[in-house]
Amino acid sequence: MSSIREDVERALDGLRQGFQADGADLTVEEATESQVTLRLVGGEETCWECIVAPGQLRDVVGSVLHETIGSRPSVQVIDPRSDQ
C-alpha cells in the first residue's frame, strides 16, 4: 500500500510535464490526508507568465488530486510570484 505522499507525487506527474516545459517544477513539501503543501520552483529560465495564477494553480492541483486519489485535501501552493 502506498503512502499519501506517494499518491500525491504520482498524481502530480502529469502536471509536472507542463511546468517543466516552462522551466519550473512542483515539489511536495508536505502531504497528509487533509493537507497538501506544494512549492512551485523555477529559475532564471522559467517562463513565469506561462504558468497559471496562484489561485488557479491551487484549484487545478486540488481537482487533479480529487480525480486521481479520490480525496480532496486542502491544497497550499508556495509560489515565489506571491512574494514579489
pLDDT of residue 23: 97
Q: What are phi and psi of 43, to 5 degrees?
A: -140, -160
- The average confidence (pLDDT) of the chain is 92
Q: β-pairing, 35-42 with 74-78?
A: parallel
| 71: pLDDT strictly greater than 90 | no
Q: 75: closest CA among 25, 39, 49?
A: 39
Neighbours of 67 (CB within 10 A): 10
Output the CA–CA distances (angstroms, integers) from residue 83 to 17, 40, 48, 79, in the order listed: 24, 12, 13, 7
The reply to whether the predicted model has a pTM over 0.85 is: yes
Q: Above 70 in pLDDT, residue 35? A: yes
